[in-house]
Structure 1
Amino acid sequence: MRKPVRIEQTLREALTGPGRVDVQRAIGWDDSNISRFLSGNQGVVIDKLDAMVSAVGYVLITRKYLDAVTTLGEVGMHCECAREGLGECGRSCK
């Protein structure tokens, strides 16, 4: 089973890797802020959260939205029946 990607892991990689400067610039931090954050001695103020999440390549969406996209993908993209106006997947189209 695949292990879920954790935001902590993503932030650590972003703040120590080659794109670090871009993240620092987006949230207005210097090297000492990064060091304190990674060691657990500094948090992120609420008005920097969106910038930080965006800088590491993520966007915030709801689980409800993901569930809807998944359902529409299963039914709409792969259902020849529905595309031909013959009903939803799982029904006999022929």
Structure 2
Amino acid sequence: MTMNEPIAVMRRPSIEAAIRSAIADPRRKRQLLEATGWDDSMLSKLVQEKPAGITLDKLDAVLAALDHVIVTRRYLDAMCTMGKVGMFCECARAGGGECGSTR
């Protein structure tokens, strides 16, 4: 890795890390089990990398229990652009160009 690589390449959060973190916290583990209807044996399969067969109908429940949502890169790119430009920029909204511009 180099410092020129995007942050997403340098440090990639994962569902695996989120699940492992939830399992380590008794309250979050209980939420995950309740949301999915799984028992402890399913979590053991997941962390031991045994075939667990997470079904599609459980994916939303897993993500919700982990407090994660799925968004597209396009959406995130748009949010980054708005953040750079200044989504609450009074200058731009008044027709004066972007804040910080050398107009």
User: TM above 0.5, one fold?
Assistant: yes
In structure 1, the residue corresponding to 2:86 is in which secondary structure?
helix
Identity percentage of aligned residues:
45
Matched, 1:76 2:86: yes
Displacement of 1:22:
0.7
Displacement of 1:5:
1.9
- CA RMSD after TM alignment: 2.1
Displacement of 1:83:
3.4
Q: Which runs of 5+ in 1 are unaligned?
A: none
Paired amino acid for 1:86: G
Partner of 2:6: none
Q: Report the more deviating stretch, 65-74 or 55-64.
A: 65-74
Q: Structure 1 length normalisation: TM-score?
A: 0.82
Q: Which runs of 5+ in 2 are unaligned?
A: 4-9
Q: Which string of whole-angstrom CA distances, capped at 9 and with x for unpartnered residues, describes residues 1-53 of structure 1? A: 66332221111111232210110010110111111121122131111001101
Displacement of 1:78:
6.4
Moved over 4 A (4+): none
In structure 1, the residue corresponding to 2:96 is in which secondary structure?
coil
Partner of 1:37: 46
Q: Report the more deviating stretch, 7-16 or 19-28.
A: 7-16
Specify which of 52, 59, 63 is matched with residue 69 of structure 2: 59
Q: Structure 2 length normalisation: TM-score?
A: 0.75
Contact kept, 8 Å, 1:75 with 1:89, in 2: the verdict is yes
In structure 2, the residue corresponding to 1:77 is in which secondary structure?
coil
